[in-house]
Amino acid sequence: MRLHIHGVHVPNRKNTAELAALLLPIPETVEIPMSMHIGAPAIPVVKPGDSVRVGQLIGKAGGFVSAPVYASVSGTVKKIGQQ
């Protein structure tokens, strides 16, 4: 990276731009954290046994500095707990 008078010029590094995307296997289980930053953790709105779809709300904001959590995959909720 070089600093110039007209801003920063970073190297291109587009070696993979023309390659095909990889198809990755779907994992058997996925853990989605309800706490993503220094704010309050989200409050789960689903329970074990519930079916969820991609994009569905699974945790509502738990405070002033908090964020909702949405499902990134479809499936069935197996467990909700602390890690």
pLDDT in tens, 20-41: 999 999 889 999 999 988 889 9
Closest alpha carbon to 59 in 69, 49, 47: 69
Task: List phi, psi (to 5°) of 72.
Answer: -95, -10
In this predicted model, which residue has the larger pLDDT, 64 or 60? Answer: 60
| Percent of the chain whose pLDDT exceeds 70 | 95
pLDDT category at 14 given cuts 50, 70, 90 is confident
In the chain, where are the structural domains located? 34-83
